[in-house]
Amino acid sequence: MPFIPNTDQQQQEMLKAIGLTMEGLFGDIPAELMAKSFDLPAGLSEQEVRSRLADLAGKNSVDLTLFLGGGFYDHFIPSAIYSIISRSEFYTAYTPYQPELSQGTLQAIYEYQSAICRLTDMEVSNASLYDGGTAMYEAMMMALRITGRNKVIIDDSVNPIYRVMIESYTRNLKIDLDETHCVNGLANRAEILGRLDDQTAAIIVQNPNFFGCIDDVTDLAEAAHAKGALLIVSCYPISLGILKTPGAMGADIVTGEGQSLGMPMSFGGPYLGFMAARKQHVRRMPGRVVGETTDREGRRAFVLTLQAREQHIRRDKATSNICSNEALCALTALVYLSLLGKEGLKETAQRCADKASYAYQRLTAIPDVQPHFRAKWFFNEFVLDLPCEAADVIAKLIEKGFAAGFPLSRYYEGMENSMLICVTEKRTKQEIGMLAEALESVL
Amino acid sequence: MVVDGLLYTKDHEWTKVEGEVATIGITDHAQEQLGELVFVELPEVGKEFAAHKEIAVVESSKAAGDVYCPVAGKVTEINDELNTRPELINEDCYEGGWICKVQITDKAPLDDLMDAAQYKEFLETL
Amino acid sequence: MKLLFEKSVPERRGVALGPSDVPTTININEELLRGRSAALPELSELDVVRHFTELSRRNFGVDTNFYPLGSCTMKYNPKVAERIAAYPGFAHLHPLLPQLRMGGMLTQGALAILYDMDLLLREITGMAGFTMQPMAGAHGELTGMMIMAAYHRDRGNGKSIILAPDSAHGTNPASAAIAGYRVVTVPSDANGVMGIEALKKELCEDVAGVMLTCPNTLGLFNPHIREICDLIHSVDGLAYYDGANLNAIVGKARPGDFGFDIVHINLHKTCATPHGGGGPGAGPVGVGEKLVPFLPVSIVVKRDDGTYALEYDRPKSIGYVAPFYGNFGIVLRAYVYILMLGAEGLARVAENAVLNANYIRCKLKGYYQPAVDTVCKHECVFSTTEAMAKQGIHALDVAKALIDRGFHPPTVYFPTIVKEAMMVEPTETESKETLDAFIAAMIEIAELAERDPEQLKAAPVTTCVSRPNETAAAKNLNIASLSS
């Protein structure tokens, strides 16, 4: 049997030592509770399973040229990442409960926390959460705990996928969730300020927002603080290679999806939720945290810390029910950030912006193709208005080999003709040119 | 160690009532169970608490415990020193390790508390 | 060891981008840019590789040696699953493709796997439908609690209480509380399981449901499990099965047959996907027939023409707990594992997991205090003996001494209802030779506890660091190296 080493003879020896038969070992399960059915297929060999899965992989279209983003991005992944994260000392380990045996994971998480703080200009970071959406939800819950209030304002320029997640998570809780409507590609100041009051726990915004527009939310941080509320900013970590940081804007909690930091898209996961915050809120921050200390000989050592707040000790009073992080994904992000380094991340971000602006020029030069938002700055995504239904155009472009963008009508009323286009550093000038020709030909 | 003249709860808080003011802390038994404290979350001065509400949190590297307000009252003073030296509670829980003082708004809950002898007896049952 | 940041050399580069093939046509307004570059390290590719290789050598995984961490099911992670997960047809698949018109046809391979996995998990657990969205066990619990709340809301039930045993994983009460419920703890009976009388005492119309692991955290199968589910149903409550310990009964018995309404499975435990140093995992949730309408959006369905599609129109659904289809890469690895083992292999999993645990229990019970001395399932729980206590030896000392003997320690101080607990879960992928070596080390430690307790208290001495000062870490918090 694969992966089960004990031979029949060994099993017999062990049963003898125990003094029971194999049936006897399961004798504590009442007979009427034994499985009524267990109708699974017979096992496959490695060769068979690889061949079957290769066939299934072949039924997925991964040869399309991707201009599809929407919070999940096709960035270049350096080879060294896979070599490092494939070291089984990392990936076959569990949560570092025994620090003497886990200094590798612990130091890597400490370095990850440091890298996230440096990237976002914040003071503390946790060891990671499941994904960008759950990170945003956890940030919201954290703000409710910090302020003791129950009202949250979220602008609809925040990724709609995260907004539906937050809506799902809060259905059973007494939270007053108020959605404002983006104007001219930016979070709606008038609506947000109109609703902000002394019961508001947090304002949630995103930068660059779902439409790719760059939104300096410094004013919202000031407004929130004046009312004793917090500002939560979700961000795209690659963009922080060049863009003004949420820390510099005055954000209190920063979250985001870390997939772009060296993780493949993998049809939706595993991904990486990151969270950073101001130091004074560290004890209200959910998730694992690694801290530096010393061992008995005074050597530098790392341990899980602030564990007293966690579910296995606090049970129903825990800061969150989450007990795992996405350690291997956090490691991936850390390796990515150290391979790119200070200059490499900046260049990658600049390259994304350059290619997007080139694509913007090429595509808006097509007759009847118009930018949706005028005179606004964007990072590597932008919205185009077409003379016809965007979903239809995108479907036609798939036949020409492009995943050309995302039809915004799926989440936004009145945007039937609008599509969101994403350009990463991986797209070439030639591919952009071909997209422009293909788009023009189907209009 | 149990000190005479204080009132005690089953959750191991002590309170010393002087006129309308109650000083609150945790008992020697509680600090021993928690181990060396690393953080104390103090209430805000001016905030009002009903009896039995969580007024503070004491945290060691292994455990965190809520401190419940034994009376109803309004916080008038907090032991700021605990911000930098939480271990004061381990060293001297009944004096230097006090947590906060409240202006009592309802004395009735005091009737349910134990005196030193009763608390000693209670500890024996654990 | 130095931090990455301390090894940084100004202007050193790891990855070079090459020249750009496009001009910069729009310059972003300076006020929107960061003042100075993020203070990331500046290292060569080799610097980075050496740093992380050194870190990996300061770590311990299942591939290193025996890892009997109770309740965590640290079984061997087959390499083939890693290889398949890296196939470009899976790794490079954009999750938004199915939301494009006719886009589902671009991802038929992935949808087929999600669909097939749903069927396999139904058969393994005896449930009627699954969601793959939850990204970990605790996330599955929260999803299950949300489904429970949606069911009661739909029925017009104003219930507020979740019952959980005192031996429960701490995540159970935490998940219930976060879903808006109040948790009432039911004490274990003399046999170490939730008793019928204790349950009846807490049972009332206000009970929304119960959360249970079976076998529980003591490794014990509750013979009253069916009756417990029936009692909960008698007040229109729901029974939640925490699948953390499913490895003990997989292929032998199914929570659906016991009467459970909601189940989560930790794929990173039962289905051998790697723990990753603490994630990513996956915690699919299965439900009985009456709860299928409440499962999250979306669900993969098979159309009459044999193609697969995502169903979004689910009016009673709790909504989205993950952005897409859960941790697809992990579900895929688990799928590979189930396909390879098949019906026969999975039944052997439980048998050997239980055999290994009982072997250890019998061999060590003369040296350590067993929490309960009856047949256990996949794990057994011991305490240090009174003689050890007299020498000042705690479970932690035994754990640290095991490290010096090349083993990962068991889970210590859990379950909390056992004093000085050591929870040993060997799993089925370990051989008798390995177990014998572990048993010998445990016996040697037990003897040392009498003869030379100071040696145990000094352990570990063979690791790159000795016992770290956790109090200092929590008191003088240093959780990030910030740039100056």
Q: What is the share, in percent, of chain A residues with pLDDT greater than 70?
A: 96
Q: Please identify, in words, the CATH class of the domain defined by A79-335.
A: alpha beta
Q: Tokens for A235, please give them.
A: 């961000």
Give the residue-averaged pLDDT of C73-96: 98
Read off the pLDDT of residues C405-421 as tens digits, 9 standing for 90 and up: 999 999 998 888 899 99
- Whether the predicted pLDDT of C220 surpasses 60: yes
Arithmetic mean of pLDDT, C43-56: 98
pLDDT reported for residue C164: 92
Contacts of C197 (CB under 8 A, 6+ apart): C189
Domain boundaries, given as residue ranges, for chain A: 65-75+342-442, 79-335
Question: Could you tell me the pLDDT band of residue C174, with boundaries at 50, 70 and 90?
Answer: confident
Write out the CATH class of domain A65-75+342-442: alpha beta
- C282-334 per-position pLDDT tens digit: 999 999 999 999 999 999 999 999 999 999 999 999 999 999 999 999 999 99
pLDDT digits (tens, 9 = 90+) for B31-82: 998 889 999 999 999 999 999 899 999 998 778 888 999 999 999 999 999 9
C3 pLDDT more than 90: yes
Residue C233 covered by a domain: yes
% of chain A surpassing 90 pLDDT = 92
The per-residue pLDDT for range C77-87, each reduced to its tens digit, is 999 999 999 99
Question: In terms of domains, do C185 and C251 share one?
Answer: yes
Residues C254, C141, single domain; the answer is: yes
C438, pLDDT greater than 60: yes
* Contact between C375 and C153 (Cβ < 8 Å): no
Inter-chain touch A125–C480, beta carbons under 8 Å: yes
Average pLDDT score over residue span A132-150: 95
Q: Which residues contact C182 (CB under 8 A, 6 or more apart)?
A: C160, C161, C162, C176
Domain assignment of residue B2, yes or no? no
Of A26, A104, A350, the CB nearest to C252: A26
C146 with C46, same domain?
A: no
Q: What is the CATH number of the domain that holds C244?
A: 3.40.640.10
Average pLDDT, chain C: 95
CA distances from B120 to B22, B98, C399 (A): 21, 20, 36
How is the beta sheet containing B13-18 ordered, strand by strand?
B7-8, B13-18, B21-26, B100-106, B72-78, B48-49
Residues in chain B with CB shorter than 8 Å from the CB of A307 are: 61-62
**Residue whose structure tokens are 């896979």:** A82
| Contact across the interface for C473 and B61, Cβ inside 8 Å | yes
Q: Under a CB-based contact definition with an 8 Å cutoff, are residues C411 and C399 in contact? A: no
- Window from A10-24, A54-68, A242-256, A301-315 with minimum mean pLDDT: A301-315
- pLDDT at position A375: 64
| Cα distance between the two ends of chain A | 59
CATH number for the domain including B85? 2.40.50.100
Contacts with C312 (C-beta within 8 Å, 6 or more apart), sequence order: C297, C298
- Indicate yes or no: CB of A43 within 8 angstroms of CB of C340: yes
The upper half-sphere exposure of residue B125, i.e. CA atoms within 13 Å in the direction of its Cβ, equals 6
Q: What is the pLDDT of residue B63?
A: 80
Query: Within 13 A of B23's CA, how many CA atoms are on the CB side?
Result: 13
| Cβ neighbours of C473 in B, within 8 Å | 61
Q: Find residue A66's DSSP bridge partners.
A: A403
> Identity (one letter) of the amino acid at A396?
K
Per the DSSP assignment, residues forming a β-bridge with C318 are: none
pLDDT category at A302 given cuts 50, 70, 90 is: very high
Give the domain extent around B32: 7-124
Among C52, C155, C71, C38, smallest CA distance to A332 is for: C52
Residue A323: per-residue pLDDT: 62
Interface of A with C in 159-198 (CB under 8 A): 161-162, 164-165, 167-169, 171-173
Span B89-109, pLDDT tens digits: 999 999 999 999 999 998 888
Rg (CA), chain A: 25
The pLDDT confidence band at residue A2, using thresholds 50, 70 and 90, is confident
Q: B61: which chain C residues are within 8 Å (Cβ-Cβ)?
A: 470-471, 473-475
Query: Quick check: is C69 in a domain?
Result: no
Has residue C130 got a pLDDT over 90?
yes
Asked if residue B1 is part of any domain, the answer here is no
**DSSP secondary structure string, C227-276?**
HHHHHHHHTT-EEEEEGGGGGGTTTTB-HHHHT-SEEE--HHHHT----T
The Cα–Cα gap between C296 and C288 comes to: 14
The pLDDT of C15-39, averaged and rounded, is 91
CB < 8 Å to B53, chain A: none
Sheet with A200-207, strands from edge to edge, namely A124-125, A273-277, A253-257, A230-235, A200-207, A151-155, A176-180
Kindly list the residues from chain A whose CB atom is less than 8 angstroms away from the CB atom of residue B63: 308, 313
Among the listed residues C315, C258, C295, C254, the one whose alpha carbon sits nearest the alpha carbon of residue C148: C295
CB atoms within 10 A of CB A41: 12
**pLDDT value, residue C484:** 61
Is the minimum CB–CB distance between A53 and chain B shorter than 8 Å? no
Which residue's structure tokens are 């134990």? B114
| Among the ranges given (A320-334, A425-439, C169-183, C261-275), the one the predictor scored with the smallest mean pLDDT | C169-183
Cβ distance C43 to C7 under 8 Å? yes
Dist. CA C371–CA C382, nearest whole Å? 5
Residues C402 and C304 in one domain: no
C134 preceded by cis ω (within 30°)?
no
Tell whether C365 and C291 lie within a shared domain. no
Please report which confidence band the pLDDT of residue C364 belongs to, taking 50, 70 and 90 as the band edges: very high
CB pair distance less than 8 Å for A344 and C17: yes
Q: Return d(Cα C245, Cα C168) in angstroms, integer.
A: 12
Residues in chain B with CB shorter than 8 Å from the CB of C474 are 38-39, 59-61
Could C475 and B59 be called an inter-chain contact, meaning their C-beta atoms sit closer than 8 Å? no
Chain C neighbours, 3+ Cβ pairs < 8 A:
A, B
Same domain (yes/no): C299, C395 = no
- d(CA C246, CA C368) in angstroms, rounded, equals 26
Q: Which residues of C touch A2 (CB under 8 A)?
A: 78, 340-341, 345
Q: Is the dihedral of CA C71, C72, C76, C79 positive or negative?
A: positive
pLDDT at position A308 is 75
C334 and C359 share one domain: no
Model pLDDT, residue A13: 98
Q: For residues C139 and C233, state if they share a domain.
A: yes
| Burial state string for C3-26 with b = 16 or more CB within 10 A and e = fewer than 16 | bbbebbeeeebbbeeeeeebeeee
Distance separating alpha carbons of residues A90 and A100, to the nearest angstrom: 14
- Residue A361 confidence (pLDDT) above 90: yes
Distance from CA of B94 to the nearest CA of C (A): 22
- B19 within some domain: yes
Q: Considering the domain boundaries, does residue C3 fall inside one?
A: no
Interface test with B, best of C414, C467, C475 (most B CBs within 10 A): C475
Q: C449 in a domain, yes or no?
A: yes
Do C220 and C284 belong to one domain?
Answer: yes
Q: Which residues of A touch B47 (CB under 8 A)?
A: none
pLDDT at C9: 97
C122 in contact with chain A, both atoms CB, cutoff 8 A: no
Q: Is the pLDDT of residue A312 over 60?
A: no
Per the CB < 8 Å rule, is B86 touching C475?
yes
Burial class (CB in 10 A: 0-12, 13-18, 19+), C304: exposed
Q: What is the pLDDT of residue A315?
A: 56
Pair (C318, C378) in one structural domain: no
C141 with C237, same domain? yes
**How close is the nearest chain C Cα to the Cα of A190, in Å?**
21
**CB-defined contacts A:B, below 8 A:** 19
Q: Which tens digit of pLDDT belongs to each residue from A227-267?
A: 999 999 999 999 999 999 999 999 999 999 999 999 999 99
**Residues β-bridged to residue C302:** C308
Q: Is C472 exposed, middle or buried (0-12, 13-18, 19+ CB in 10 A)?
A: buried
pLDDT band per the 50, 70, 90 thresholds, residue A314: low
| Mode of pairing for the β-strands spanning A230-235 and A200-207 | parallel
Q: Would you report the helix, strand and coil content of chain C in percent, each value rounded to 5?
A: 40, 10, 45
A79-335 and A65-75+342-442 share a CATH fold: no
Contact assignment for C471 to B39 by CB distance below 8 Å: no
Separate counts of helices (H) and strands (E) for chain C: 16, 13
Q: What is the ipTM of this complex?
A: 0.97
Residue C441 has a pLDDT of 98
Residue C132 structure tokens: 């793959």
- pLDDT in the model for residue A90: 98
Reported as a pLDDT band with limits 50, 70 and 90, residue C166 is confident
pLDDT at position B94, please? 96
**Among candidates A68, A13, B68, B117, which has minimal Cα distance to C94?**
A68
Q: How many domains, in total, are found in chain C?
A: 3
The DSSP symbol for A279 reads: G
* Residue C401 lies in domain: 349-471
Q: How far is A317 from chain B (nearest CA, A)?
A: 10
Q: What is d(CA C367, CA C445) in angstroms, rounded to the nearest whole number?
A: 9
Chain B contact set for C412 (CB, 8 A): none
Q: Which residue of A has its CA nearest to C21?
A: A429
Q: Do A308 and B41 touch (CB under 8 A)?
A: no
- Taking alpha carbons only, the member of C93, C32, C216, C242 closest to residue A267 is C93
Whether C474 and B61 lie within 8 Å, measured CB to CB:
yes
First to last CA, chain B: 15
- Give the pLDDT mean for A181-196: 96
Touching subunits of A (3+ CB pairs, under 8 Å) are B, C
Q: Does residue C284 fall inside a structural domain?
A: yes
Q: How large is the average pLDDT for residues A110-125? A: 98
| Axis-axis angle for helices C45-57, A327-364 (nearest 10) | 150
Q: Which of C292, C314, C340 is the last residue of a domain?
A: C340
> Do the Cβ atoms of A111 and C5 come within 8 Å?
yes
Reply yes or no on whether the pLDDT at A310 is more than 80: no
CB pairs under 8 A between A and C: 700
List the one residue out of C62, C72, C434 whose CA is nearest residue A89: C62
Number of domains in chain B: 1
User: From residue C394, how far is each of C237, C275, C398, C425, C473 by CA, in Å?
Assistant: 41, 28, 7, 19, 22
Tell me if chain C has a CB within 8 Å of the CB of A406.
yes
Question: Do residues C143 and C162 share a domain?
Answer: yes
Is A305 in Cβ contact with B64 (below 8 Å)? no
> What does the alpha-carbon distance between residue A296 and residue A99 come to, in Å, rounded to a whole number?
13
Res C178 pLDDT > 90: no
Q: Residues in chain C whose beta carbon is closer than 8 A to a beta carbon of chain B?
A: 470-471, 473-475
- Mutation choice for B interface testing from A314, A315, A316, A319 by most B CBs within 10 A: A314
C121 touching chain A per CB within 8 A? no
Whether pLDDT at A318 is above 90: no
Span C451-475, average pLDDT: 95
3 state DSSP class of A304: strand
Q: Which residue of chain A has the CA closest to C330?
A: A270
The answer to the question of residue B27 being in a domain is yes
